[in-house]
Amino acid sequence: MPVPISSPAGSACASDTHGRPDIAPHAHAAARALLGDPLTNKGTAFTEAERDVLGLHGLLPPHVGTLDSQIARRRRALEGMADDFHRYAFLRELQDSNEVLFHALVQHDLPRMLPLVYTPTVGEGCERFSEIWRRPRGLFLSYPNRDKIADILADPALDRVKVIVVSDGERILGLGDQGAGGMGIPIGKLALYTACAGIHPAEVLPILLDVGTDNAARRDDPLYVGWRNPRIRGGDYDAFVETFVEAVVERFPNVLLQWEDFAGKNAYDLLERYRGTLLSFNDDIQGTAATATGTLLAAIRHTGVPLTEQRVVLFGAGAAGSGVAEMLVRAMMDEGLSEQAARARLWAVDRDGLILSDIPRLPDQQVKLARDAAEVAGWTLSGSHQIGLLDTVVNVRPTVLIGASGQMGAFGEAVVRAMAAGCERPVIFPLSNPISRAEAHPADLLAWTDGRALVGTGSPFGVEGVTQVNNVYIFPGVGLGAIAAGALAVTDGMFMAAARALGDLGSMGNAAGLLPPIDRLRDVAQHIALVVAHQAVEDGVATLVRSVLTPEHIAGLMWSASYG
């Protein structure tokens, strides 16, 4: 971001009897503050003129660099590191010292940097968050400070905030409860909002709702930076979140809030409770659903089998899996099926086997996915007391297999070969993150299907012909589109429009996969933002008219990292 070539307020220089400008003590403090603020620090890229006026001589080495030379220096440092976790930690420190340089580095090489700032490396980053925490970023709103939330949000430094990503750290990727370490997720997601959707780094705010953790290893770690208490639940939890939402609405009435990595029931409850209160959505439920649906629509162009004729088995029916199911039902209904007929093409398998209507105390989101026990009465079963994934695949003969379970290796050879035996071009998406929780390695899927499978994974595996089905294809564009339209709510229709737009984009020159290459993510976000903004108008939630919502309008909202 540009730094004005002018003296900081109150730092005017006087001249002594030799005509030499004197820098007052408070001017030295202002110069150090300038270098200490990641939003104003330019490091060696401060020009000689800026150093003269701002009192930076001596605080910086004499070399005057450029953004490009700074990027080259950081790239060399990255490549000399032993592993991706240390690269992740290095990039986090860079972000906390120089925002422009960090974002320029990411934007210049998204394929290389995306796995370092987000999945899969962010998983270990969350597990070891307390180990590498150095400087404040975002807000930790802890339960003991529940009466101070409004005061915390009143900080004038937050006046520009347009996008908030918030988590309570309970369901971090497939790793479970990470407590305060879950802050790595909002930080990473917002880095992608900036990289892909061009949201200015001064306009984003990561928040961790620290209500304790049930992860004893975290609580017992002497380095743990969070509140050392078992998780607050029930009415106390609900009241805490209510206090938070009320404070956000009062402080940021037009903000976009993204709920991230909340546990299944809380994820659904919070989405439904607050989607009409403030501009908000849940990326695990809606973003994952739109990404998976869009990728499946792209795959259908290769298989030639219409969506309405697909037989889909979902393994994992938590927030993500259930969200995928509901969007697929809606997509099939849009293409002519009744709701009953659409649901008849989906089979959901969870930890206790195929979800059946006679299973007691099903979570609300699974009730609509349950099959009648009479439907499976004639199935050939392996003899287990549960109808597991293999039994389901053998009897259903699915064309699509989607994993959102966090169960490493769940798509074993027997399951995949059974699927391939009944389908010429099986579509298989092991979506769980990080790599250690993926349902299968894509190389195995290709081997077990004799190369016939169309494979999409949640994490990057570096296997040729495999598509990364990452929510980054959806949420930056949805967020940008909602902001561009001045939307009052994020509707299901806006996510469906995003999914169909992603499917229509196809490979965008990516011969090796179903979706556009990672280095086109800004183009993807801009395209999806336009479609989403137009859908907001159609759904009656936009405050701007369609004629204003042009590609140029969207592009004009997107910041690119430069010193100006």
- Known catalytic residues? 118, 189
Neighbour-count burial of 28, counting CB atoms closer than 10 A to its CB (0-12 exposed, 13-18 middle, 19+ buried): middle
| Cα gap 82→460, rounded to integer Å | 19
**Are 103 and 561 contacting, i.e. CB atoms less than 8 angstroms apart?**
yes
DSSP bridge pairs for 141: 209
401/279 Cα distance (integer angstroms): 33
166 bridge partner residues: 207, 259
CA distance 282 to 261: 9
> Which residues are within 8 A (CB) of 146 and not within 5 positions of it... i.e. 6 or more apart?
240, 243
Spatial distance between the Cα atoms of 523 and 477, rounded to a whole number of angstroms: 9
Distance CA 332, CA 122 (A): 34
DSSP letter at 300 equals H
| Rounded Cα–Cα distance for residues 9 and 522 (Å) | 37
Tokens matching residue 450 = 């004799």
Integer angstrom CA distances of residue 78 from 81, 125, 195, 265: 6, 16, 19, 40
DSSP conformational letter for 140: E
**Half-sphere exposure for 27 (CA within 13 Å, toward CB):** 19
CB-CB contact of 104 with 562 (8 Å): yes
326-351 burial by CB neighbour count: b if 16+ within 10 A, else e? bbbbbbbbeeebeeeebbebbbbbbe
CB proximity list for 419: less than 8 A, separation 6 or greater: 393, 397, 398, 401, 426, 428, 449
Instruction: Output the six-digit token pair for 548.
Output: 């204003």
For residue 316 the two structure tokens come to 């994992």
Quick one: which of 235, 283, 301 has its CA closest to 504?
301
How many Å separate Cα 164 from the centre of its chain? 12
Task: Please state whether 540 falls in left (phi above 0), alpha (psi between -120 and 50) or beta.
Answer: left
Other C-beta atoms closer than 10 Å to the C-beta of 222 total: 5
Q: Give which of 284, 317, 309, 333 is closest to 427, Cα–Cα.
A: 309
Rounded to whole angstroms, the Cα distance separating 27 from 8 reads 7
427-436 b/e with 16+ CB inside 10 Å = b?
bbbbbbbbbe
- What is the C-alpha separation between 191 and 197, in angstroms, rounded? 10
